[in-house]
Each structure stands twice: as C-alpha cells, then as structure tokens.
C-alpha cells in the first residue's frame, strides 16, 4: 500500500494555521461578537460596547430575556435546583421534565415526547438508533448539519435530493423499494434559505411510497402557524400526518437550550431505550425546564406573538425588494437572507451596518458555494416598525457607499477572472498532512 508520510502534532498545527490564514478565506473570517448583558432586540456588543438593534438572533418570540421567563427560571432554581448531574435514565429526570414532555406533546398534538440536551442531539441520536444498512434515508441537500451527521452515523443507504426537488425525491423513492424502511427527512423551515416546506406534497409522497416522514421544526416551532405550532399548523395538516418531529427549546421556546423529538408513542418509547445522545447525556438543567414550561403558557396567553413575527418579516421583505435587493425564501418566513453574493461584501455590510447601529451577520464560503453569500436577517415579534425601516434605510446607504449595484452587474465577470475568493476545493483536506 502507498501510504502518506506520517506527521505529528506540529504539522497538524501548521496545517490548521495555513488553511486559516492563506486558504480560501483570503482574509475573510467569521467574527465572534460579544454581547454584554441580556439577549434581546437591542443589545450592547463588542469591546466598544455599542448599543445596536439585533437582527441576527433566533429569539423569534422575544422571550429569551422576557421578565416572565426570567422569573420562571428563578422560581424553578429555588424549587428544583440548578443541575441534575446525571443522565435521565439514572437519576436525572424530575417531575418538571416529565411535565414538559407532556406539555410539548399537547402543544404538537402528538402521543409522546423525548427531551434531549440540544436540537443537534435529537438528529444525531435518532437516525443511528432507528435505521441501519438495510434501510434508506432521503435527505434534502440543504438539511442542517445535525441531520447530515446523524444520517451518516446510521449506516443506512443515503439518498440526497436537490433542494426542494420533489421530482428527484420521487425518482429516488421509486428506486429504493427493496429497502426495509424508507425515511424522508427534511426541515420545515430552512434556516439559511428562508424556505417554508410545501408540507402537503411531501406528506402525500411519503404516503404514496409507504415512507416514514421525519420533520425538523427547529426554526418553525413558535414561529409560523396561527398559534406557533409550526409547519403542520401552517399548512392545516393533522399531527398524525407526520411520524416524527424534532425541534428545539433554544430558539422560540425561551431560548435556553435543549431539544426534543415528538411523535407516535411506540417510536418515542423505542428512542428512550436506544438513542445514545439521550441515554449518555446529562439531563437539561432545571431552570431551562421551568422557563420552557412558562414559554408554552405565554404562547397560549398571547398568540398575537406569531402575527407580529409575520408582519415584521413581510414589512422587511417588501421594503428591501422595492429597494432592489434580492431576498431568499418565502414571504411568510421571518428569516430573510439578503443576497450580496461575495464573501467580502457580506463582511463589509456586516461591519458597516454595525457602525450604523444594526447587528447583522454576513455568511459566505465555505458555508455556501462561491457567489451565494448573504446576510441572514431575522425578524422577531419584539422588533418595531421603526427598527425594521431603519435597517432597510441602512442597507441602502451601505449599498450606495460601496457601489454595490454596479458590482453586482459585473460580479459574474469578476468570478471568471479570479478577482474574488479562489477555488473552494483548496479548503478540502487533501494529501497535505
């Protein structure tokens, strides 16, 4: 066998340094912003401690720093302590954990629910427990990394279909009829594209080919639907139309962290005995549980939260489109990715918008292919119309200041001539170690 020369830790450190400093990033890198104080629609950020309007948080309902949530967490801290210091099947499961599982089941209209340490854990832990080499999983190419990792761990046959391409998915289902189980997995809202899944078509396809349907609702729960029950409610379907739903407590449901899978009781009972990311992980700390229970009560008390989220999203999309920008996704989605195409422009907009009092994040390669960079703007229930309109005005000002419109007209020519970020393949680890 031809083997590469074995190298040690110093070579690995040098490899990491070289890729970071002189690889495809070409001076572009994601910056870590530090928030001083509470997560909210207005935050104090960075060493300069600038007060800025926050448009990049997943705090859709604005409950992360809501006084009602904070008070609920404090009360739970007093009554049930802080941490569990144990996995759920040992001695890490309190009465409030049980209550939250039951309340989440009621909220979604499902039989049973299983709590996990995070949304990532739900996906990584489910597929390996449920599916093996005799099964087939069909996954949208833009599914979250946790889904991709979980599917790989399962050792099932993987079919990846192009984003939202139902025709390709159907052809794959036709070709996989000899597998024991066939599972379609997709997100309800795609967090980087702002797309809302056309759920009725996927449910119909799953039924037609006798496939299991798994729906990731991390960016849909507490976000869309008249009462915040996600994609199922948004499309007017029955909870029983979906076999399994995964979601998170770390976004709209108070934002403290944690995830869960909910669905038909036999599936959840099976996962409770077999899902390693549940069995071998510490339970969620008690204050998160108390805060999440209070968030579900607030959803019932103030369902207009979800109407406010939608109104702000629609207002931003309409104004930005009229100003000449391209916004990815569906009109009803509060995730509004603004296309700027180039990685350096994404970073430039991020910096300049921050100077004008708006906290946004520029996203580019390697998260997206070259030419697909964007700023993911997230509208929440707590944003005011004045804040939304101010952000649009700031976008237009930055665009004019950097000659953005003219740059977009010639961008494809710049790519062809090598004037923007180089060959993405350079970043992929080859025979360099």
Q: Judge residue 169's burial from the number of C-beta atoms within 10 Å of its C-beta, 0-12 exposed, 13-18 middle, 19 or more buried.
A: buried
Identify whether 157 is a catalytic site residue.
no
To which residue do tokens 């994609």 refer?
231
Q: Which of 57, 154, 191, 246 is catalytic?
A: 191
Question: ω into residue 265 within 30 of 0, thus cis?
Answer: no
Show Cβ contacts of residue 393 under 8 Å, excluding neighbours closer than 6 positions. Answer: none
Please, where are the H alpha helices in 224-342?
Answer: 231-234, 265-274, 276-279, 286-301, 304-323
Q: Is 40 left (phi over 0), alpha (psi -120 to 50) or beta?
A: beta
Q: Which of 97, 144, 219, 383 is catalytic?
A: 219
Residues 424, 433: Cα–Cα separation, whole Å: 18
Please, where are the H alpha helices in 3-47?
Answer: 9-22
Is residue 364 a contact partner of residue 180, using CB atoms and an 8 Å limit?
A: no
Quick one: CA dihedral 410, 415, 421, 424, positive or negative? positive
Cα distances from 182 to residues 20, 224, 253, in angstroms, run: 40, 28, 31
Residues 420, 425: Cα–Cα separation, whole Å: 14
Is residue 94 a contact partner of residue 243, using CB atoms and an 8 Å limit?
A: no
Taking CA 276 as the corner, what is the angle to CA 272 and CA 281, rounded to the nearest 5 degrees? 90
Residues 288, 286: Cα–Cα separation, whole Å: 5
Residue among 395, 358, 390, 354 at smallest CA distance from 374: 395
Identify whether 106 is a catalytic site residue.
no
Q: Which of 251, 275, 283, 348 is catalytic?
A: 251
Count of alpha carbons within 13 angstroms of residue 431, beta-carbon side: 4
Is residue 230 a contact partner of residue 221, using CB atoms and an 8 Å limit?
A: yes
Residue among 311, 118, 295, 364 at smallest CA distance from 218: 118
Cα distances from 286 to residues 74, 87, 161, 204, 293, in angstroms, run: 10, 13, 40, 40, 11
Residues 417, 343: Cα–Cα separation, whole Å: 16
Identify whether 409 is a catalytic site residue.
no
Residues designated catalytic? 191, 219, 251
């Amino acid at each position: 066998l031809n083997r590469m020369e074995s190298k040690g830790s110093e070579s690995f450190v040098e490899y990491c340094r070289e890729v970071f400093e002189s690889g495809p990033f070409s001076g572009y890198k994601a910056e870590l912003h530090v928030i001083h104080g509470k997560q909210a629609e207005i935050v104090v950020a960075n060493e300069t401690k600038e007060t800025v309007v926050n448009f990049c948080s997943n705090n859709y309902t604005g409950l992360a720093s809501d006084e009602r949530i904070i008070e609920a967490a404090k009360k739970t801290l007093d009554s049930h302590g802080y941490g569990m210091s144990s996995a759920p099947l040992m001695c890490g499961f309190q009465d409030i954990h049980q209550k939250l599982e039951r309340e989440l089941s009621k909220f979604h209209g499902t039989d049973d629910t299983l709590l996990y340490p995070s949304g990532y854990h739900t996906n990584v832990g489910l597929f390996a427990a449920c599916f093996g080499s005799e099964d087939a999983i069909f996954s949208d190419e833009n599914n979250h990394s946790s889904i991709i990792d979980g599917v790989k761990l399962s050792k099932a046959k993987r079919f990846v279909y192009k984003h939202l391409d139902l025709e390709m998915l159907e052809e794959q289902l036709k070709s996989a009829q000899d597998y024991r189980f066939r599972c379609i997995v997709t997100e309800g809202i795609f967090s980087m594209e702002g797309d809302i899944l056309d759920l009725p078509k996927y449910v119909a396809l799953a039924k037609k080919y006798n496939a299991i349907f798994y729906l990731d609702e991390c960016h849909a729960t507490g976000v869309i639907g008249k009462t915040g029950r996600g994609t199922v409610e948004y499309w007017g379907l029955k909870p029983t139309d979906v076999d399994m739903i995964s979601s998170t407590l770390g976004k709209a449901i108070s934002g403290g962290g944690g995830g869960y899978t909910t669905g038909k009781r036999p599936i959840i009972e099976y996962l409770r005995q077999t899902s390693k990311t549940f069995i071998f992980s510490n339970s969620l700390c008690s204050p998160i549980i108390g805060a999440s229970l209070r968030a579900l009560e607030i959803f019932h008390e103030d369902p207009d939260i979800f109407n406010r989220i939608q109104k702000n999203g629609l207002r931003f999309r309409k104004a930005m489109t009229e100003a000449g920008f391209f916004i990815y996704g569906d009109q009803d989605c509060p995730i509004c990715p603004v296309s700027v195409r180039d990685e350096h422009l994404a970073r430039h907009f991020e910096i300049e918008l921050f100077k004008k009092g708006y906290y946004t994040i520029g996203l580019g390669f390697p998260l997206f292919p070259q030419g697909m960079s964007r700023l993911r703007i997230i509208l929440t229930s707590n944003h005011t119309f004045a804040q939304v309109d101010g952000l649009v005005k700031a976008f237009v000002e930055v665009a004019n200041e950097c000659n953005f419109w003219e740059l977009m007209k010639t961008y494809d020519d710049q790519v062809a001539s090598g004037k923007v970020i180089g060959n993405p393949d350079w970043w992929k680890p080859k025979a360099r170690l």
